[in-house]
Amino acid sequence: MSNNEMILAALGFSNWDSQLDEFKTNFGYDWTGEDLDEAIEVAGYNTSNVRNCLMEILWLKVVYYFVDTMDCSREMFDSYINGSLDTHFYYNGTEVKSEEELLELVNAA
Q: How many domains does the chain have?
A: 1
Q: Name residues whose C-beta falls within 8 Å of residue 31's C-beta, 6 or more positions apart in sequence.
A: 4, 20, 39, 54, 57, 58
Half-sphere exposure of 65 toward its Cβ, with a 13 Å CA cutoff? Answer: 13
Kindly state the average pLDDT of the residues 53-57: 93
* pTM score of the predicted model: 0.86
Q: Pick the residue with more confidence: 52 or 98?
A: 98
Mean per-residue pLDDT of the chain: 88
What range does the domain containing 72 cover?
3-108
pLDDT of residue 85: 65
